[in-house]
Amino acid sequence: MALSPPPPNPHDLRDFPRPRPPISPGRPRLFRIFLHRDPASGRVRRPFHFVSSAATSDAAGGRYDLPEPDGACYLALKTIGAWLEVFRSTVIVASDDVRRRRLLITRPPRRIRTADLGARGARRFGVTGDIHTHGDYALTRAWAGRLYEAGFRALLGKVRHDPGLRERSLTLLDRNGEHEPYGWRWHKKIELLHEADDLLLAMRAYGFKVLEVPHDVPIDDVRP
Q: How many CB atoms lie within 10 A of CB 69?
A: 11
What whole-number distance in Å separates Cα of residue 89 and Cα of residue 83?
Answer: 11
Provide the 8-state DSSP code for 182.
G
pLDDT of amino acid 136: 86
Dihedral of alpha carbons 189, 190, 194, 199, sign: positive
Quote the pLDDT of residue 1.
Answer: 63
User: Residue 99, SS3?
Assistant: helix
Distance, in Å, from the CA atom of 9 to the CA atom of 70, rounded to the nearest integer, reads 19
Which 3 state secondary structure label does DSSP give 122? helix
Burial 185-204 (b: 16+ CB within 10 A, else e): ebeeeeeebbebeebbebbe
Give the per-residue pLDDT at 59.
Answer: 59
* Per-residue confidence (pLDDT) for residue 223, from 0 to 100: 45
**pTM score of the predicted model:** 0.92
Give the residues of the chain that fall short of pLDDT 50. Answer: 217, 219-224
**What pLDDT shows up at residue 218?**
52
Residue pair 41/61 in contact (Cβ under 8 Å)? The answer is no
- pLDDT for residue 222: 45
What does the pLDDT read at residue 55?
A: 57
Domains of the chain: which residue ranges? 10-211
User: What pLDDT is recorded for position 167?
Assistant: 97
Q: Is 127 left (phi over 0), alpha (psi -120 to 50) or beta?
A: beta
